[in-house]
A and B are shown apart, each in its own frame.
Chain A
Amino acid sequence: MIRFENVGLRYGSEAEVLRDISFTLQPGSFHFLTGASGAGKSSLLKLMYLAHRPSRGLVTLFGRDMALVTRRDLPELRRQIGVVFQDFALLDHLSALDNVALPLRMAGTPETDVVAHCSEILRWVGLGNHLHAKPSTLSGGQKQRVAIARSVINRPRLLLADEPTGNVDDGIGMRLLYLFEELYKLGTTVVIATHNEALIRRFDHPRLNLDSGRLMVLPARGRGHEGRAQETRANVSRANDSRPNDSRPTDSRWE
Protein backbone atom coordinates (compact mmCIF):
# COMPACT_ATOMS: atom_id res chain seq x y z
CA MET A 1 0.00 0.00 0.00
CA ILE A 2 2.64 2.52 1.15
CA ARG A 3 6.38 2.14 1.18
CA PHE A 4 8.88 4.78 2.24
CA GLU A 5 12.58 4.16 1.75
CA ASN A 6 15.14 6.58 3.18
CA VAL A 7 12.78 9.48 2.65
CA GLY A 8 13.80 12.96 3.64
CA LEU A 9 11.82 16.18 3.47
CA ARG A 10 12.98 19.73 3.81
CA TYR A 11 11.17 22.99 3.21
CA GLY A 12 13.27 25.32 1.10
CA SER A 13 16.80 25.53 2.39
CA GLU A 14 15.83 24.68 5.97
CA ALA A 15 17.11 21.60 7.79
CA GLU A 16 15.28 18.35 7.06
CA VAL A 17 12.07 17.95 9.02
CA LEU A 18 11.96 14.24 8.12
CA ARG A 19 15.11 12.16 7.90
CA ASP A 20 15.72 8.66 6.59
CA ILE A 21 12.10 7.59 6.96
CA SER A 22 11.57 3.95 6.02
CA PHE A 23 8.45 1.88 6.62
CA THR A 24 5.86 -0.21 4.83
CA LEU A 25 2.12 -0.21 5.46
CA GLN A 26 0.26 -3.29 4.36
CA PRO A 27 -3.21 -2.92 2.83
CA GLY A 28 -5.94 -3.07 5.45
CA SER A 29 -3.70 -2.09 8.33
CA PHE A 30 -4.27 0.42 11.11
CA HIS A 31 -1.47 2.57 12.51
CA PHE A 32 -1.23 5.44 14.89
CA LEU A 33 1.27 8.12 14.00
CA THR A 34 2.66 9.57 17.19
CA GLY A 35 5.30 12.01 18.25
CA ALA A 36 5.72 15.27 20.06
CA SER A 37 4.51 18.52 18.55
CA GLY A 38 6.88 19.52 15.76
CA ALA A 39 8.18 15.99 15.34
CA GLY A 40 7.00 15.95 11.74
CA LYS A 41 3.67 14.08 11.91
CA SER A 42 1.83 16.51 9.68
CA SER A 43 4.74 16.61 7.23
CA LEU A 44 4.75 12.83 6.98
CA LEU A 45 1.00 12.80 6.41
CA LYS A 46 1.40 15.45 3.70
CA LEU A 47 3.85 13.17 1.93
CA MET A 48 1.31 10.36 2.19
CA TYR A 49 -1.58 12.37 0.82
CA LEU A 50 0.61 13.77 -1.92
CA ALA A 51 0.59 17.39 -0.85
CA HIS A 52 4.38 17.36 -0.96
CA ARG A 53 7.01 15.41 -2.79
CA PRO A 54 9.99 14.14 -0.80
CA SER A 55 13.32 15.93 -1.03
CA ARG A 56 14.98 12.54 -1.31
CA GLY A 57 14.25 8.86 -1.02
CA LEU A 58 11.62 6.61 -2.56
CA VAL A 59 7.89 6.77 -1.92
CA THR A 60 5.71 4.04 -3.37
CA LEU A 61 1.94 4.42 -3.14
CA PHE A 62 -0.57 1.89 -4.45
CA GLY A 63 2.35 0.21 -6.17
CA ARG A 64 3.47 3.32 -8.03
CA ASP A 65 6.78 5.07 -7.63
CA MET A 66 5.78 8.64 -6.84
CA ALA A 67 8.94 10.00 -8.46
CA LEU A 68 7.55 8.80 -11.79
CA VAL A 69 4.03 10.08 -11.29
CA THR A 70 3.23 13.17 -13.31
CA ARG A 71 1.07 16.05 -12.15
CA ARG A 72 -1.66 14.87 -14.50
CA ASP A 73 -1.78 11.49 -12.72
CA LEU A 74 -2.14 12.95 -9.23
CA PRO A 75 -5.94 13.50 -9.13
CA GLU A 76 -6.64 9.82 -9.78
CA LEU A 77 -4.28 8.79 -6.98
CA ARG A 78 -5.58 11.43 -4.59
CA ARG A 79 -9.15 10.23 -5.07
CA GLN A 80 -8.10 6.95 -3.50
CA ILE A 81 -6.98 8.76 -0.36
CA GLY A 82 -9.33 10.14 2.27
CA VAL A 83 -7.93 12.86 4.48
CA VAL A 84 -9.29 14.25 7.73
CA PHE A 85 -7.49 17.53 8.21
CA GLN A 86 -6.62 18.79 11.65
CA ASP A 87 -8.61 21.99 11.11
CA PHE A 88 -11.42 20.11 9.29
CA ALA A 89 -10.85 22.18 6.10
CA LEU A 90 -14.57 22.46 5.43
CA LEU A 91 -15.73 25.04 2.90
CA ASP A 92 -17.73 27.54 4.91
CA HIS A 93 -19.99 28.64 2.06
CA LEU A 94 -21.16 25.09 1.39
CA SER A 95 -23.64 23.05 3.38
CA ALA A 96 -22.60 19.89 5.21
CA LEU A 97 -24.04 17.86 2.36
CA ASP A 98 -22.22 19.84 -0.32
CA ASN A 99 -18.96 19.55 1.62
CA VAL A 100 -19.32 15.80 1.83
CA ALA A 101 -20.33 15.67 -1.83
CA LEU A 102 -17.10 17.25 -3.11
CA PRO A 103 -15.17 14.01 -3.75
CA LEU A 104 -18.14 12.43 -5.50
CA ARG A 105 -18.77 15.43 -7.74
CA MET A 106 -15.09 15.52 -8.64
CA ALA A 107 -15.37 11.91 -9.67
CA GLY A 108 -18.36 12.76 -11.88
CA THR A 109 -20.93 10.79 -9.86
CA PRO A 110 -24.52 11.43 -11.04
CA GLU A 111 -26.18 14.12 -8.94
CA THR A 112 -29.03 11.93 -7.71
CA ASP A 113 -26.51 9.38 -6.40
CA VAL A 114 -24.44 12.16 -4.83
CA VAL A 115 -27.38 13.44 -2.81
CA ALA A 116 -28.50 9.96 -1.79
CA HIS A 117 -25.05 8.78 -0.71
CA CYS A 118 -24.14 11.98 1.11
CA SER A 119 -27.44 12.08 2.96
CA GLU A 120 -26.95 8.48 3.97
CA ILE A 121 -23.44 8.90 5.28
CA LEU A 122 -24.32 12.09 7.13
CA ARG A 123 -27.16 10.21 8.83
CA TRP A 124 -24.68 7.45 9.54
CA VAL A 125 -22.43 9.85 11.46
CA GLY A 126 -25.42 11.27 13.30
CA LEU A 127 -25.91 14.44 11.27
CA GLY A 128 -29.12 13.50 9.49
CA ASN A 129 -30.78 16.64 10.79
CA HIS A 130 -27.94 18.90 9.66
CA LEU A 131 -27.69 18.08 5.96
CA HIS A 132 -28.04 21.67 4.83
CA ALA A 133 -26.35 23.34 7.80
CA LYS A 134 -23.36 25.54 7.06
CA PRO A 135 -20.15 24.64 8.96
CA SER A 136 -20.31 27.92 10.88
CA THR A 137 -23.48 26.70 12.62
CA LEU A 138 -22.01 23.33 13.61
CA SER A 139 -20.12 22.44 16.76
CA GLY A 140 -16.51 21.23 16.67
CA GLY A 141 -17.55 17.62 16.94
CA GLN A 142 -20.15 17.98 14.22
CA LYS A 143 -17.63 19.62 11.90
CA GLN A 144 -15.25 16.80 12.61
CA ARG A 145 -17.87 14.25 11.61
CA VAL A 146 -18.62 16.15 8.40
CA ALA A 147 -14.90 16.11 7.63
CA ILE A 148 -14.75 12.38 8.34
CA ALA A 149 -17.83 11.72 6.22
CA ARG A 150 -16.21 13.63 3.37
CA SER A 151 -13.00 11.65 3.74
CA VAL A 152 -14.74 8.28 3.42
CA ILE A 153 -17.61 9.08 1.03
CA ASN A 154 -15.81 7.69 -2.01
CA ARG A 155 -14.53 4.61 -0.16
CA PRO A 156 -10.83 5.48 -0.15
CA ARG A 157 -8.22 2.76 -0.05
CA LEU A 158 -6.19 4.86 2.36
CA LEU A 159 -7.55 7.03 5.17
CA LEU A 160 -5.27 9.58 6.81
CA ALA A 161 -6.36 11.63 9.80
CA ASP A 162 -4.34 14.43 11.33
CA GLU A 163 -5.15 14.83 15.01
CA PRO A 164 -8.80 13.96 14.42
CA THR A 165 -9.52 14.10 18.14
CA GLY A 166 -7.58 17.26 18.80
CA ASN A 167 -10.59 19.56 18.75
CA VAL A 168 -13.17 17.37 20.43
CA ASP A 169 -13.65 16.09 23.94
CA ASP A 170 -12.57 12.60 24.94
CA GLY A 171 -16.05 11.14 24.55
CA ILE A 172 -16.42 12.25 20.96
CA GLY A 173 -12.80 11.36 20.31
CA MET A 174 -13.48 7.82 21.41
CA ARG A 175 -16.52 7.59 19.13
CA LEU A 176 -14.50 8.85 16.20
CA LEU A 177 -11.92 6.16 16.82
CA TYR A 178 -14.69 3.56 16.79
CA LEU A 179 -15.69 4.87 13.39
CA PHE A 180 -12.12 4.52 12.09
CA GLU A 181 -12.02 1.02 13.52
CA GLU A 182 -15.13 0.14 11.55
CA LEU A 183 -13.59 1.46 8.35
CA TYR A 184 -10.43 -0.49 9.08
CA LYS A 185 -12.52 -3.62 9.50
CA LEU A 186 -14.00 -2.92 6.09
CA GLY A 187 -10.50 -3.06 4.60
CA THR A 188 -9.41 0.57 4.53
CA THR A 189 -5.81 1.26 5.44
CA VAL A 190 -5.91 3.77 8.28
CA VAL A 191 -3.22 6.07 9.64
CA ILE A 192 -4.16 8.40 12.48
CA ALA A 193 -1.80 11.06 13.75
CA THR A 194 -2.50 11.73 17.40
CA HIS A 195 -0.84 12.40 20.70
CA ASN A 196 -3.82 11.19 22.70
CA GLU A 197 -2.21 8.37 24.71
CA ALA A 198 -5.52 7.26 26.21
CA LEU A 199 -6.94 6.53 22.77
CA ILE A 200 -3.77 4.81 21.63
CA ARG A 201 -3.83 2.53 24.68
CA ARG A 202 -7.52 1.84 24.24
CA PHE A 203 -7.24 0.70 20.62
CA ASP A 204 -3.78 -0.87 20.71
CA HIS A 205 -2.64 -0.66 17.09
CA PRO A 206 0.96 -0.47 15.86
CA ARG A 207 2.58 2.94 16.07
CA LEU A 208 4.72 4.94 13.75
CA ASN A 209 6.56 7.11 16.23
CA LEU A 210 8.38 10.20 15.07
CA ASP A 211 11.12 11.75 17.12
CA SER A 212 12.99 14.76 15.76
CA GLY A 213 12.24 13.79 12.19
CA ARG A 214 13.20 10.13 12.54
CA LEU A 215 10.69 7.29 12.52
CA MET A 216 10.46 4.19 14.64
CA VAL A 217 7.82 1.49 14.11
CA LEU A 218 6.41 0.17 17.38
CA PRO A 219 4.28 -2.99 17.18
CA ALA A 220 0.93 -3.36 18.88
CA ARG A 221 1.29 -4.52 22.41
CA GLY A 222 -0.60 -7.78 22.32
CA ARG A 223 -3.80 -8.18 20.37
CA GLY A 224 -2.21 -9.00 17.02
CA HIS A 225 -4.05 -6.44 14.91
CA GLU A 226 -1.84 -7.06 11.90
CA GLY A 227 -2.99 -10.66 11.88
CA ARG A 228 -6.57 -9.56 12.20
CA ALA A 229 -6.08 -7.14 9.37
CA GLN A 230 -4.93 -9.98 7.15
CA GLU A 231 -8.08 -11.87 8.01
CA THR A 232 -10.17 -8.81 7.36
CA ARG A 233 -8.68 -8.28 3.92
CA ALA A 234 -10.17 -11.53 2.78
CA ASN A 235 -13.57 -9.94 3.24
CA VAL A 236 -12.71 -6.54 1.85
CA SER A 237 -14.22 -6.90 -1.58
CA ARG A 238 -17.49 -8.20 -0.20
CA ALA A 239 -17.59 -5.50 2.46
CA ASN A 240 -16.82 -2.73 -0.03
CA ASP A 241 -19.77 -3.73 -2.15
CA SER A 242 -22.20 -2.60 0.51
CA ARG A 243 -22.69 0.78 2.08
CA PRO A 244 -21.66 0.97 5.72
CA ASN A 245 -25.25 0.72 6.95
CA ASP A 246 -24.67 -2.54 8.75
CA SER A 247 -22.29 -0.92 11.17
CA ARG A 248 -24.16 2.34 11.35
CA PRO A 249 -24.02 3.88 14.81
CA THR A 250 -27.22 5.26 16.21
CA ASP A 251 -27.58 8.99 16.60
CA SER A 252 -27.55 8.54 20.35
CA ARG A 253 -23.96 7.31 20.13
CA TRP A 254 -22.97 10.65 18.65
CA GLU A 255 -25.25 13.22 20.17
Chain B
Amino acid sequence: MALRPRRPRSDLPLAVDPSSRFLGWITALMAFLAALALAGAMLVSDMAQRWDSGLAGGLTVQIAPMPGAPVAPLDDRAEAALTVLRSFPGIRSATLLSGGEIARLLEPWLGAGAADPLLPMPRLIDVVTDGPVDAGALRLRLGSAAPGATLDDHAVWLADLRSFAGAIRLAALGVVVLIGAAAVMTVVFAVRTGLAIHRPVVELLHLMGATDRYVSRQFERHVVALSLRGGGIGLLLAGGMLYGLHRASQGLRASLLPDLTLVPWQWAVLLLVPGALALLALVTARWTVLRTLESMP
Protein backbone atom coordinates (compact mmCIF):
# COMPACT_ATOMS: atom_id res chain seq x y z
CA MET B 1 0.00 0.00 0.00
CA ALA B 2 1.40 3.38 -0.97
CA LEU B 3 2.01 5.60 2.01
CA ARG B 4 0.84 9.12 1.61
CA PRO B 5 1.40 11.87 4.14
CA ARG B 6 -1.92 12.47 5.81
CA ARG B 7 -2.88 15.16 8.25
CA PRO B 8 -5.79 14.66 10.59
CA ARG B 9 -8.40 17.32 10.45
CA SER B 10 -7.66 18.11 14.07
CA ASP B 11 -6.64 16.29 17.22
CA LEU B 12 -9.65 17.98 18.78
CA PRO B 13 -13.02 17.31 17.14
CA LEU B 14 -13.85 21.02 17.02
CA ALA B 15 -15.76 20.84 13.76
CA VAL B 16 -18.68 19.05 15.41
CA ASP B 17 -19.03 21.54 18.24
CA PRO B 18 -22.34 23.42 18.41
CA SER B 19 -20.36 26.68 18.59
CA SER B 20 -18.77 25.92 15.23
CA ARG B 21 -22.13 26.02 13.52
CA PHE B 22 -22.85 29.63 14.42
CA LEU B 23 -19.31 30.99 14.40
CA GLY B 24 -19.11 30.77 10.62
CA TRP B 25 -22.44 32.49 10.10
CA ILE B 26 -21.74 35.20 12.65
CA THR B 27 -18.44 35.85 10.91
CA ALA B 28 -20.29 36.07 7.59
CA LEU B 29 -22.65 38.65 9.07
CA MET B 30 -19.77 40.63 10.52
CA ALA B 31 -17.87 40.59 7.24
CA PHE B 32 -21.03 41.74 5.46
CA LEU B 33 -21.53 44.66 7.84
CA ALA B 34 -17.84 45.58 7.91
CA ALA B 35 -17.65 45.57 4.11
CA LEU B 36 -20.74 47.78 3.85
CA ALA B 37 -19.39 50.18 6.47
CA LEU B 38 -16.05 50.44 4.71
CA ALA B 39 -17.68 50.83 1.31
CA GLY B 40 -19.97 53.54 2.69
CA ALA B 41 -17.03 55.41 4.19
CA MET B 42 -15.08 55.20 0.95
CA LEU B 43 -18.04 56.35 -1.15
CA VAL B 44 -18.75 59.30 1.14
CA SER B 45 -15.06 60.20 1.13
CA ASP B 46 -15.05 60.15 -2.65
CA MET B 47 -18.17 62.28 -2.80
CA ALA B 48 -16.79 64.81 -0.33
CA GLN B 49 -13.52 64.93 -2.21
CA ARG B 50 -15.33 65.59 -5.49
CA TRP B 51 -17.31 68.41 -3.91
CA ASP B 52 -14.21 69.70 -2.20
CA SER B 53 -12.17 69.80 -5.38
CA GLY B 54 -15.13 71.34 -7.20
CA LEU B 55 -15.44 74.14 -4.69
CA ALA B 56 -11.85 74.72 -3.72
CA GLY B 57 -9.93 76.73 -6.26
CA GLY B 58 -13.02 78.64 -7.17
CA LEU B 59 -14.95 81.75 -6.15
CA THR B 60 -18.37 83.03 -7.03
CA VAL B 61 -19.23 86.69 -7.42
CA GLN B 62 -22.86 87.68 -7.36
CA ILE B 63 -24.09 91.11 -8.46
CA ALA B 64 -27.59 91.65 -7.16
CA PRO B 65 -30.22 93.83 -8.90
CA MET B 66 -30.75 97.02 -6.93
CA PRO B 67 -34.02 98.49 -8.21
CA GLY B 68 -34.37 102.19 -7.33
CA ALA B 69 -30.84 102.53 -6.06
CA PRO B 70 -28.60 105.21 -7.60
CA VAL B 71 -26.20 102.73 -9.16
CA ALA B 72 -25.15 101.77 -12.66
CA PRO B 73 -27.19 99.18 -14.56
CA LEU B 74 -26.67 95.54 -13.65
CA ASP B 75 -24.78 94.64 -16.82
CA ASP B 76 -22.42 97.61 -16.40
CA ARG B 77 -21.68 96.60 -12.83
CA ALA B 78 -21.05 93.00 -13.97
CA GLU B 79 -18.58 94.24 -16.57
CA ALA B 80 -16.83 96.40 -13.95
CA ALA B 81 -16.60 93.38 -11.64
CA LEU B 82 -15.15 91.27 -14.46
CA THR B 83 -12.52 93.91 -15.10
CA VAL B 84 -11.53 93.97 -11.42
CA LEU B 85 -11.44 90.19 -11.23
CA ARG B 86 -9.34 89.68 -14.36
CA SER B 87 -6.70 92.07 -13.09
CA PHE B 88 -6.60 90.75 -9.52
CA PRO B 89 -3.58 88.65 -8.46
CA GLY B 90 -4.25 84.90 -8.11
CA ILE B 91 -7.23 84.78 -10.43
CA ARG B 92 -6.90 82.68 -13.59
CA SER B 93 -10.25 83.34 -15.19
CA ALA B 94 -13.57 85.00 -14.54
CA THR B 95 -16.63 84.03 -16.57
CA LEU B 96 -20.02 85.67 -16.53
CA LEU B 97 -22.79 83.06 -16.45
CA SER B 98 -25.49 83.49 -19.04
CA GLY B 99 -29.13 83.95 -18.15
CA GLY B 100 -29.86 80.39 -19.25
CA GLU B 101 -27.14 78.94 -17.02
CA ILE B 102 -28.44 80.89 -14.03
CA ALA B 103 -31.98 79.74 -14.74
CA ARG B 104 -30.80 76.09 -14.79
CA LEU B 105 -29.09 76.55 -11.43
CA LEU B 106 -32.29 77.96 -9.93
CA GLU B 107 -34.62 75.50 -11.58
CA PRO B 108 -34.58 72.94 -8.72
CA TRP B 109 -35.95 75.65 -6.40
CA LEU B 110 -38.02 77.87 -8.68
CA GLY B 111 -39.14 75.37 -11.34
CA ALA B 112 -39.79 76.49 -14.92
CA GLY B 113 -40.50 80.05 -13.67
CA ALA B 114 -36.78 80.54 -13.15
CA ALA B 115 -36.47 81.39 -16.86
CA ASP B 116 -39.08 84.18 -16.64
CA PRO B 117 -37.38 87.31 -18.09
CA LEU B 118 -39.46 89.49 -15.76
CA LEU B 119 -37.88 87.87 -12.72
CA PRO B 120 -35.11 90.09 -11.35
CA MET B 121 -32.11 87.77 -11.65
CA PRO B 122 -28.66 88.51 -10.23
CA ARG B 123 -25.55 88.20 -12.35
CA LEU B 124 -23.14 85.44 -11.41
CA ILE B 125 -19.46 85.32 -12.20
CA ASP B 126 -17.61 82.00 -11.91
CA VAL B 127 -14.03 82.65 -10.87
CA VAL B 128 -11.20 80.11 -11.12
CA THR B 129 -8.13 80.81 -9.05
CA ASP B 130 -4.59 79.59 -9.56
CA GLY B 131 -3.15 80.72 -6.27
CA PRO B 132 -4.01 82.36 -2.99
CA VAL B 133 -6.42 85.26 -3.30
CA ASP B 134 -6.74 88.07 -0.78
CA ALA B 135 -10.51 87.81 -0.35
CA GLY B 136 -10.75 90.90 1.88
CA ALA B 137 -8.98 93.21 -0.63
CA LEU B 138 -11.00 91.73 -3.49
CA ARG B 139 -14.27 92.39 -1.65
CA LEU B 140 -13.25 96.04 -1.12
CA ARG B 141 -12.35 96.57 -4.79
CA LEU B 142 -15.49 94.81 -5.99
CA GLY B 143 -17.62 96.86 -3.60
CA SER B 144 -16.28 100.14 -4.98
CA ALA B 145 -16.26 99.08 -8.66
CA ALA B 146 -19.56 97.24 -8.67
CA PRO B 147 -21.96 98.17 -5.86
CA GLY B 148 -24.12 95.24 -4.80
CA ALA B 149 -21.41 92.68 -5.62
CA THR B 150 -20.81 89.95 -3.07
CA LEU B 151 -17.93 87.51 -3.03
CA ASP B 152 -18.50 83.87 -1.95
CA ASP B 153 -15.24 81.98 -1.34
CA HIS B 154 -17.16 78.76 -0.33
CA ALA B 155 -15.33 78.66 3.00
CA VAL B 156 -18.50 77.81 4.93
CA TRP B 157 -19.51 75.11 2.44
CA LEU B 158 -16.06 73.58 2.45
CA ALA B 159 -15.88 73.52 6.25
CA ASP B 160 -19.29 71.86 6.46
CA LEU B 161 -18.40 69.31 3.81
CA ARG B 162 -15.13 68.40 5.43
CA SER B 163 -16.80 68.11 8.80
CA PHE B 164 -19.54 65.92 7.29
CA ALA B 165 -17.07 63.64 5.55
CA GLY B 166 -15.00 63.36 8.71
CA ALA B 167 -18.06 62.43 10.74
CA ILE B 168 -19.05 59.75 8.24
CA ARG B 169 -15.52 58.31 8.25
CA LEU B 170 -15.51 58.31 12.05
CA ALA B 171 -18.89 56.59 12.18
CA ALA B 172 -17.72 53.94 9.72
CA LEU B 173 -14.55 53.41 11.74
CA GLY B 174 -16.69 53.07 14.86
CA VAL B 175 -18.86 50.46 13.17
CA VAL B 176 -15.79 48.51 12.06
CA VAL B 177 -14.31 48.69 15.57
CA LEU B 178 -17.60 47.49 17.05
CA ILE B 179 -17.70 44.64 14.56
CA GLY B 180 -14.13 43.74 15.48
CA ALA B 181 -15.01 43.77 19.18
CA ALA B 182 -18.02 41.56 18.52
CA ALA B 183 -15.80 39.20 16.51
CA VAL B 184 -13.32 39.00 19.37
CA MET B 185 -16.06 38.24 21.89
CA THR B 186 -17.56 35.59 19.63
CA VAL B 187 -14.23 33.86 19.15
CA VAL B 188 -13.48 34.02 22.87
CA PHE B 189 -16.84 32.44 23.61
CA ALA B 190 -16.44 29.74 20.95
CA VAL B 191 -12.90 28.88 22.05
CA ARG B 192 -13.81 28.74 25.73
CA THR B 193 -16.77 26.52 24.90
CA GLY B 194 -14.50 24.28 22.84
CA LEU B 195 -11.98 24.06 25.65
CA ALA B 196 -14.70 23.19 28.14
CA ILE B 197 -16.22 20.53 25.89
CA HIS B 198 -12.89 18.97 25.00
CA ARG B 199 -11.12 19.41 28.30
CA PRO B 200 -10.53 15.64 28.73
CA VAL B 201 -8.91 15.48 25.30
CA VAL B 202 -6.81 18.56 26.02
CA GLU B 203 -5.65 16.99 29.29
CA LEU B 204 -4.82 13.78 27.45
CA LEU B 205 -2.79 15.70 24.87
CA HIS B 206 -0.95 17.45 27.67
CA LEU B 207 -0.14 14.12 29.31
CA MET B 208 1.31 12.93 26.01
CA GLY B 209 3.58 15.94 25.91
CA ALA B 210 1.58 18.52 23.99
CA THR B 211 2.60 22.09 24.63
CA ASP B 212 0.02 24.82 25.08
CA ARG B 213 1.00 26.17 21.67
CA TYR B 214 0.29 22.78 20.11
CA VAL B 215 -3.22 22.87 21.58
CA SER B 216 -3.75 26.51 20.65
CA ARG B 217 -2.76 25.79 17.04
CA GLN B 218 -5.67 23.34 16.83
CA PHE B 219 -8.06 26.12 17.78
CA GLU B 220 -6.32 28.67 15.59
CA ARG B 221 -6.62 26.50 12.48
CA HIS B 222 -10.27 25.90 13.28
CA VAL B 223 -11.31 29.52 13.80
CA VAL B 224 -9.21 30.80 10.90
CA ALA B 225 -10.85 28.31 8.54
CA LEU B 226 -14.31 29.28 9.81
CA SER B 227 -13.50 33.00 9.62
CA LEU B 228 -12.18 32.79 6.08
CA ARG B 229 -15.22 30.81 4.96
CA GLY B 230 -17.70 33.05 6.79
CA GLY B 231 -15.83 36.19 5.76
CA GLY B 232 -15.88 35.10 2.13
CA ILE B 233 -19.62 34.53 2.24
CA GLY B 234 -20.21 37.90 3.95
CA LEU B 235 -18.03 39.67 1.41
CA LEU B 236 -19.87 38.04 -1.48
CA LEU B 237 -23.19 39.18 -0.05
CA ALA B 238 -21.88 42.72 0.51
CA GLY B 239 -20.42 42.78 -3.00
CA GLY B 240 -23.75 41.73 -4.42
CA MET B 241 -25.55 44.44 -2.48
CA LEU B 242 -23.06 47.13 -3.52
CA TYR B 243 -23.35 46.08 -7.14
CA GLY B 244 -27.12 46.23 -6.84
CA LEU B 245 -26.94 49.74 -5.36
CA HIS B 246 -24.58 50.80 -8.12
CA ARG B 247 -27.01 49.56 -10.76
CA ALA B 248 -29.93 51.22 -8.98
CA SER B 249 -28.11 54.56 -8.69
CA GLN B 250 -27.32 54.48 -12.41
CA GLY B 251 -30.99 54.01 -13.19
CA LEU B 252 -32.07 57.08 -11.23
CA ARG B 253 -32.37 60.44 -12.91
CA ALA B 254 -31.80 62.40 -9.74
CA SER B 255 -28.33 63.76 -9.99
CA LEU B 256 -28.27 64.73 -6.32
CA LEU B 257 -27.47 61.08 -5.38
CA PRO B 258 -23.78 60.34 -5.15
CA ASP B 259 -22.12 57.98 -7.59
CA LEU B 260 -22.15 54.57 -5.85
CA THR B 261 -19.31 53.06 -7.84
CA LEU B 262 -16.22 51.61 -6.21
CA VAL B 263 -12.93 51.79 -8.04
CA PRO B 264 -10.59 48.74 -8.16
CA TRP B 265 -8.44 49.73 -5.17
CA GLN B 266 -11.58 50.14 -3.09
CA TRP B 267 -12.70 46.62 -4.04
CA ALA B 268 -9.23 45.45 -3.05
CA VAL B 269 -9.70 47.03 0.38
CA LEU B 270 -12.97 45.12 0.76
CA LEU B 271 -11.21 41.89 -0.22
CA LEU B 272 -9.02 42.35 2.87
CA VAL B 273 -12.04 42.07 5.19
CA PRO B 274 -12.12 38.23 5.45
CA GLY B 275 -8.36 38.14 5.92
CA ALA B 276 -8.51 40.80 8.61
CA LEU B 277 -11.28 38.92 10.40
CA ALA B 278 -9.29 35.67 10.16
CA LEU B 279 -6.19 37.38 11.55
CA LEU B 280 -8.22 38.83 14.41
CA ALA B 281 -9.73 35.39 15.09
CA LEU B 282 -6.29 33.78 15.07
CA VAL B 283 -4.82 36.22 17.57
CA THR B 284 -7.91 36.03 19.77
CA ALA B 285 -7.99 32.22 19.73
CA ARG B 286 -4.32 31.98 20.59
CA TRP B 287 -4.59 34.47 23.41
CA THR B 288 -7.73 32.81 24.81
CA VAL B 289 -6.38 29.26 24.66
CA LEU B 290 -2.99 30.11 26.13
CA ARG B 291 -4.54 32.16 28.90
CA THR B 292 -7.06 29.44 29.74
CA LEU B 293 -4.52 26.63 29.64
CA GLU B 294 -2.28 28.50 32.05
CA SER B 295 -4.78 27.57 34.75
CA MET B 296 -4.61 23.87 33.92
CA PRO B 297 -2.12 21.53 35.66
* CB proximity of B257 to chain A, nearest CB, Å: 54
Residue B177 lies at the interface, judged by CB distance under 8 Å to chain A: no
Q: Is the CB of B206 within 8 A of A52?
A: no
Question: Which residues of chain A are near B68, meaning CB under 8 Å?
Answer: none
Question: Which residues of chain A are near B13, meaning CB under 8 Å?
Answer: 91, 93
Instruction: Assess A51 versus B3: contact at CB under 8 Å? Given A94-B8, A98-B8, A102-B11.
Output: no
Q: Is the CB of A115 within 8 A of B3?
A: yes
CA gap between A93 and B208 in the complex, in Å: 17
Q: Indicate which residue in A93, A107, A111, A150 contacts B7 across the interface (CB closer than 8 Å).
A: A111
* CB proximity of B189 to chain A, nearest CB, Å: 23
**Chain B residues with a Cβ closer than 8 Å to the other chain, count:** 23
Question: Which residues of chain A are near B201, meaning CB under 8 Å?
Answer: 91
Q: Is the CB of B209 within 8 A of A103?
A: yes
- Interface residues in A74-101 by Cβ distance below 8 A to B read 74-76, 78-79, 83, 89, 91, 93-95, 97-98, 101
Question: Which residues of chain A are near B203, meaning CB under 8 Å?
Answer: 51
**Chain A residues with a Cβ closer than 8 Å to the other chain, count:** 32
User: B interface, by DSSP: helix, strand, loop or mixed?
Assistant: loop
Question: Which residues of chain A are near B9, meaning CB under 8 Å?
Answer: 93
Residue B241 lies at the interface, judged by CB distance under 8 Å to chain A: no
* CB proximity of B7 to chain A, nearest CB, Å: 7
User: A interface, by DSSP: helix, strand, loop or mixed?
Assistant: helix
Q: Is the CB of B206 within 8 A of A78?
A: yes
Instruction: Assess A115 versus B4: contact at CB under 8 Å? Given A53-B297, A91-B201.
Output: yes
Question: Which residues of chain B are near A112, meaning CB under 8 Å?
Answer: 3, 5
Residue A239 lies at the interface, judged by CB distance under 8 Å to chain B: no
Q: Can you name the residue of chain B whose Cβ is closest to the Cβ of A120?
A: B3
Q: Can you name the residue of chain B whose Cβ is closest to the Cβ of A85?
A: B204
Residue B271 lies at the interface, judged by CB distance under 8 Å to chain A: no
CA gap between A228 and B157 in the complex, in Å: 98
CA gap between A52 and B207 in the complex, in Å: 10
Question: Which residues of chain A are near B6, meaning CB under 8 Å?
Answer: 97-98, 111, 115
Residue B210 lies at the interface, judged by CB distance under 8 Å to chain A: yes
Chain A residues near B (Cβ < 8 Å): 49-53, 71, 74-76, 78-79, 83, 89, 91, 93-95, 97-98, 101-103, 105-107, 111-112, 114-116, 119, 150
